[in-house]
Amino acid sequence: MVAGDDLRGLMRLWPHGVSILSVDVDGDRMGVTVSSLVSLSLEPPLIGVSIGKDASCYELLRAAGRFAISLLGSDQEELARRFAAGYPPIVHWEGVPTREATIAPLIDGALGWMEAETRTEVDAGDHTFFIADVLSLAHGPSRNALVYRESTYHSV
Ligand SMILES: Cc1cc2nc3c(=O)[nH]c(=O)nc-3n(C[C@H](O)[C@H](O)[C@H](O)COP(=O)(O)O)c2cc1C
């Protein structure tokens, strides 16, 4: 077995797209920056995301049973930093432009959006891997994506 820090040390070399996962339970809203989003299946359309059990959105995400994803453009680094910073939810959302959504707030001007319903939670050590059906999606303004590698944001 390798140490967790060794895995992190290798994987930080590997570029990941950056998105914001959001949840809303009766107006209680949370968002978190994630790089673990993957497309899992096309028939049916499934995505997966791995969320730390210590993340402040974790219990709300489980309670909601559904979530939204905003795929960030390269000009949205400030939002990625904000939703990774561990601020209280009210600070996260203050002044953030959102667009109409049925499941949870979507970040305005993102590259694209998805709304999804969790079908399976897979226990994955200190994380849980959420597998979800994609209920709706939309494209935003086309431009470069925000990518994270070696603790730095890049435009790709
Ligand atoms: C680029 C980037 C990607 C991240 N990806 C994930 C992820 O996929 N899953 C996760 O649980 N946390 C991820 N995090 C950490 C969370 O964004 C956040 O920093 C962490 O949950 C602590 O904030 P909290 O106390 O509000 O939960 C990522 C952070 C950054 C900067």
Local confidence band at 3 (pLDDT 50, 70, 90 cut-offs): very high
Instruction: Provide the whole-model pTM.
Output: 0.97
Local confidence band at 67 (pLDDT 50, 70, 90 cut-offs): very high
Please report the pLDDT score of residue 89 as a whole number. 79
CB 52 within 8 A of CB 32: no
Question: From ligand 1's centre to the CA of 45, what distance in Å?
Answer: 24
C-alpha count within 13 angstroms, C-beta hemisphere, residue 61: 31
Q: Which residues contact 86 (CB under 8 A, 6 or more apart)?
A: 56
What's the CATH number where 51 sits? 2.30.110.10
Residue whose CA lies nearest to ligand 1 atom number 25: 86
Question: 84 in ligand 1 pocket by Cβ < 6 Å?
Answer: yes
Residue 120 belongs to domain spanning: 4-155
Closest among 97, 12, 90 to 56, alpha carbons compared: 90
How many domains does the chain contain in total?
Answer: 1
Residue whose CA lies nearest to ligand 1 atom number 26: 86
Closest among 126, 121, 131, 145 to 38, alpha carbons compared: 131
3-class DSSP state of 86 = coil
Please report the pLDDT score of residue 100 as a whole number. 80
Phi, psi of 7, rounded to the nearest 5 degrees = -65, -45
pLDDT in tens, 79-109: 999 999 988 877 888 899 999 889 999 999 9
